[in-house]
């Protein structure tokens, strides 16, 4: 039995996408952005009360990139493992992108009134996010995917870009834009997107990161 605890437009999307790429049978438990993740029963799965929590093989993995590594290693026939220095670097670079997106999400969504936001934080984090795009742009020169062939690293990076685009557009980064466009056409990616009636974290497609 495989069960994924998931909230739309969060890092658990990485795991959902990976499960679809692998064609596995699994159950999705969808959570809203409320106090249900603080329930003692759920805290027994994820001690910080967050998503994902992937129940698999008699245990629980509650870090999204660890889940991608585990699933790729569990199914070597799929050829999605991101190993060695390059593989691990680019798999985990997704979290570098995501930390800046998380800071901007905190400012624009968690800290809701515009007057309460920090203009300085928004500007700094948007600039830092742009630097991660620069790094990925350089990596993609001469490559269709981060490691040459599609892998778990692309699932991680693609999901990170899906989130980051809400704050910093890809227009100035043609290779990253083409890469994301390619990833977003994958059927597994499309299946991992929020359902029509699902509560979303982002109610806007784009938030002006420096116009606070």
Q: Which helix (H) or strand (E) holds 5?
A: strand 3-6
Quote the pLDDT of residue 210.
Answer: 57
The Cα 8–Cα 195 span in angstroms is 8
pLDDT tens sequence across 107-138: 998 876 777 889 899 999 999 999 999 999 99
Mean pLDDT of 201-206: 92
Domain with CATH 3.40.30.10 in the chain: 3-78
Q: What is the location of CATH 1.20.1050.10 in the chain?
A: 84-192
* Four-point Cα dihedral 180, 23, 3, 9, nearest 10: 20
Average pLDDT of the chain is 94
For residue 195, how far is the Cα from the chain centroid?
16
Check pLDDT > 80 for residue 85.
yes
- Contact indicator for 27, 18 with CB cutoff of 8 Å: no
CB burial of 65-78 (b: ≥16 within 10 Å; e: otherwise) equals: bebbbbbbeebeeb
pLDDT in tens, 36-77: 899 999 999 999 999 999 999 999 999 999 999 999 999 999
Phi and psi at residue 155, to the nearest 5°? -65, -45
Residues 78-103: what's their mean pLDDT? 98
pLDDT for res 212: 40
CATH number of 84-192, picked from 3.30.365.10, 1.10.8.60, 2.60.40.10, 1.20.1050.10: 1.20.1050.10
Cα–Cα distance, 12 to 4 (Å, whole number)? 8
| pLDDT digits 0-9 by tens, 135-155 | 999 999 999 999 999 999 999
Is-cis flag, bond preceding 53, omega within 30? no
For residue 208, the model assigns a pLDDT of 83
Residue 37: predicted pLDDT: 92
CATH architecture classification, 3-78? 3-Layer(aba) Sandwich (3.40)
């Amino acid at each position: 039995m495989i069960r994924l605890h998931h909230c739309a437009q969060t890092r658990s999307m990485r795991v959902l996408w990976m499960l679809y790429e692998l064609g596995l049978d699994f159950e999705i438990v969808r959570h809203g952005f409320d106090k249900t993740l603080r329930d003692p029963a759920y805290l027994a799965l994820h001690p910080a009360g967050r998503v994902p929590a992937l129940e698999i093989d008699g245990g629980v993995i509650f870090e999204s990139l660890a889940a991608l590594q585990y699933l790729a290693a569990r199914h070597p026939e799929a050829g999605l493992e991101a190993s060695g220095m390059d593989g691990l670097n680019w798999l985990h670079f997704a979290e570098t992108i995501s930390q800046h997106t998380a800071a901007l999400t905190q400012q624009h969504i968690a800290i809701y009134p515009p007057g309460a936001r920090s203009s300085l934080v928004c500007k700094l984090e948007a600039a830092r996010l742009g630097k991660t795009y620069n790094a990925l742009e350089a990596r993609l020169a001469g490559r269709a995917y981060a490691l040459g062939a599609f892998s778990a690293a692309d699932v991680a990076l693609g999901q990170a870009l899906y989130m980051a685009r809400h704050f910093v557009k890809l227009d100035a980064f043609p290779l990253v834009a083409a890469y994301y466009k390619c990833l977003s056409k994958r059927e597994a990616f499309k299946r991992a997107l929020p359902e029509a009636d699902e509560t979303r974290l982002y109610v806007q497609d784009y938030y002006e990161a420096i116009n606070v």
